[in-house]
Amino acid sequence: MFIVAMGTLELKQSLTGHRGRVWSVGWHPKGTNLASCGEDKTIIIWGLEGAKWVTKMILTEGHSRTIRELAWSPCGSYIASASFDATTAVWDKKSGQFECNATLEGHENEVKSVSWSTSGELLATCSRDKSVWVWEVNNKLASDDEYECAAVINAHTQDVKKVRWHPREEILASASYDNTVKIFKEDAADSDWSCVASMSSHASTVWSLSWDKTGDRIATCSDDKTVKIWREYKPGNDMGVATPNNESVWKCVCTLSGYHTRTIYDIDWCKTTGLLVTACGDDIIRIFKEDSDCDPHQASFTMVCSVDSAHAQDVNCVQWNPTIPGQLASASDDSTVKIWFYNE
């Protein structure tokens, strides 16, 4: 018999300031600031004053339509924002304040997601135009930053919802309306980016994905109301998983079904605690913990927390603080951003 230790998710603060739907939140890499964006075409940067989170800065006029997602660079000096206006803006604070000094153009329509590689030298974007773009970042010089398109990858057959870099290597994962997740890598021989793995199992749109701390596993969430855990099997693996083309094969080792009642819009795998959190269209935030004694090739997770009406409407985004274990930020259609703390 299992005894499940339930944790509690404590609401620390509800942040208001956005008008309309908030699509995304992102923690500064040091966990000291939070940025959020949405339908009102602004980015709000939040910071602590004493024990209270307050608005530190509001970035406007970078985009002419909804800002769908933002991402801090690993150094914390840049913010990239992806917009329905088909551009990605890069904001820097060389002048002391965050300013939009570069606009990356090329996608045919809405840009849905943006992600920095761990080195900060690559940026990835994806769009409803079905493509994934890899940009080389050249900001080593004191002069103006340059962003050069290194690859346009057309591996998906539909709208691409999310891109996320591997936590250590220059390997990219994307999730799509075509129900698949794909992995991209640069071929050392001809420096061409190509799709090296495709994961099919979800029965509808894959909205988001999150790598685990090591980069050996990926968690995905979908409109099919399930979460899936995928594991990488490298060529020559002990399990005897065949690896044609001498490339890693990704296998679904766990499906969490029956927990979510609507579309799951986001998932984040905490790099410090290993906890999984999901954002769902049923207004609920749920937290899952991996069972300590489970077989890694047939993983099992237990739901350790579920907060009904965490928001008054759909939860669009959840993200663990990268430095403070247990601290969580969420964004919702109800115009609010919330800060939470998870206690085991």
Partner 1 sequence: MNENLENINPKLYKKLDDREITVEEQDEDVADEFDAREVFDIIRNINDPEHPLTLEELNVVEQDLIEVDDKKNRVDVKFTPTIPHCSMATLIGLSIRVQLLRALPARFKVSVEISPGTHVSEAAVNKQLADKERVAAALENAMLLGVINQCLAPKN
Query: Minimum Å distance from CB 251 to partner 1?
Result: 26
Number of neighbours of residue 277 by Cβ within 10 angstroms: 25
Query: Minimum Å distance from CB 286 to partner 1?
Result: 17
Which residue lies nearer to partner 1 by CB, 81 or 327? 81
**Site for partner 1 contains 182 (CB under 8 A):** no
39: amino acid identity, one letter: E
Query: Which residue in 264, 278, 314, 328 binds partner 1 (CB under 8 A)?
Result: 314
CA distance 262 to 314: 9
- Tell me which residue of 72, 59, 112 sits closest to 88, measured CA to CA: 112
The tokens describing 275, both together, are 């906890």
Residue 309: burial class (beta carbons within 10 Å; 0-12, 13-18, 19+): exposed
115: amino acid identity, one letter: S
**Site for partner 1 contains 112 (CB under 8 A):** yes
Binding residues among 15-34 for partner 1 as defined by CB under 8 A: 21
The tokens describing 12, both together, are 């620390």
Give the SS3 label for residue 24.
strand
**Site for partner 1 contains 14 (CB under 8 A):** no
Query: Minimum Å distance from CB 65 to partner 1?
Result: 5
The tokens describing 329, both together, are 């930020």
**Site for partner 1 contains 306 (CB under 8 A):** no
Query: Which residue in 24, 33, 66, 115 binds partner 1 (CB under 8 A)?
Result: 66
User: In this chain, which stretch among 6-14, 185-193, 287-295, 309-317 interacts with partner 1, using CB under 8 A?
Assistant: 309-317
Strand 88-92 to 99-104 pairing: antiparallel
132 near 184, Cβ under 8 Å? yes
Write each residue from 232 to 261 as x if it is in contact with partner 1 (CB under 8 A), else as -, in one continuous string: ------------------------------
User: In this chain, which stretch among 106-114, 167-175, 184-192, 233-241 interacts with partner 1, using CB under 8 A?
Assistant: 106-114
**Site for partner 1 contains 262 (CB under 8 A):** yes
**Site for partner 1 contains 69 (CB under 8 A):** no
Query: Minimum Å distance from CB 161 to partner 1?
Result: 8
State in Å, rounded, how far the first CA of the chain is from the last one.
Answer: 20
**Site for partner 1 contains 110 (CB under 8 A):** yes
**What is the b/e burial string over 98-129, where b = at least 16 CB atoms within 10 angstroms of the residue's CB?**
bebbbebebbeebbbbbbbbeebbbbbbbbbb
Strand 217-222 to 206-211 pairing: antiparallel
- Tell me which residue of 254, 155, 151 sits closest to 198, measured CA to CA: 155
**Site for partner 1 contains 333 (CB under 8 A):** yes
Number of neighbours of residue 147 by Cβ within 10 angstroms: 17
**Site for partner 1 contains 177 (CB under 8 A):** yes
Query: Which residue in 24, 115, 263, 327 binds partner 1 (CB under 8 A)?
Result: 263
The tokens describing 181, both together, are 């997740």
**Site for partner 1 contains 324 (CB under 8 A):** no
Write each residue from 116 to 135 as x if it is in contact with partner 1 (CB under 8 A), else as -, in one continuous string: ------------x-------
Q: How many residues bind partner 1 (CB under 8 A)?
A: 25
Residues in contact with partner 1 by the rule CB under 8 A: 21, 39, 65-66, 68, 84, 109-110, 112, 128, 159, 161, 177, 204-205, 223, 262-263, 281-282, 312-314, 333-334
